[in-house]
Amino acid sequence: MRKQQGFTLIELMIVVAIIGILASVSIPIYSDYSSRSKASAAIAEMAGIKTAVGMCMVEAGAISECKNGAYGIPDTFETSNVPSGYSVKAGKIEATTSATDSSGTPLMLALESTKDSGSSMVIWKLSGTICDADRGIRPGTGGCVVATKP
């Protein structure tokens, strides 16, 4: 009588099937998580630009004067999470992020500033395709406004 050594073919096939099932579930979840983290990082990296726009609002006295290259707002700004640069027009910051939707299209962010009446606070409203429940910032959190259809 011979003692069995190693694994049978069916045992190896079962292990490969289990690994395939786990991979098919975990890869899309990881992809969504990775995109959400890039979206959050892009917003965090825009903090310096938000500060510069806020200072512009104070120095210029008019939000319409706040644009790239004016009042300390940098002409260009690129990071790994904001690879295509950004633009500032009348205090509104717009940028393309490295976060993507499920089809691979980059998510856009728009930060709109308003000055709180009666104080010196600047309130930021986040909008754009970055307000994506699955792969970006969930609407209603992080300053994302819930999109309303006309």
Percent of the chain with pLDDT over 90: 41
List the alpha helices (DSSP H) in the chain.
Answer: 9-45, 47-60
3 state DSSP class of 142 = coil
pTM of the model: 0.78
Whether the per-residue pLDDT at 149 is higher than 60: the answer is: no
Cβ atoms of 65 and 123 within 8 Å: the answer is no
Contact 77, 87 (CB under 8 A): no
Q: What is the mean pLDDT of residues 21-43?
A: 92
What local confidence, expressed as pLDDT, does residue 147 receive? Answer: 58
Enter the DSSP assignment of 131. -
Nearest CA to 67 out of 115, 122, 76 is that of 76
How far is C-alpha 125 from the geometric centre of its chain's CA atoms?
Answer: 14
What would the pLDDT profile of 59-79 be if each residue is shown by its tens digit?
A: 888 888 889 988 889 998 888
Structure token digits, residue 62: 């008019």
9-127 carries CATH number 2.40.30.170: no
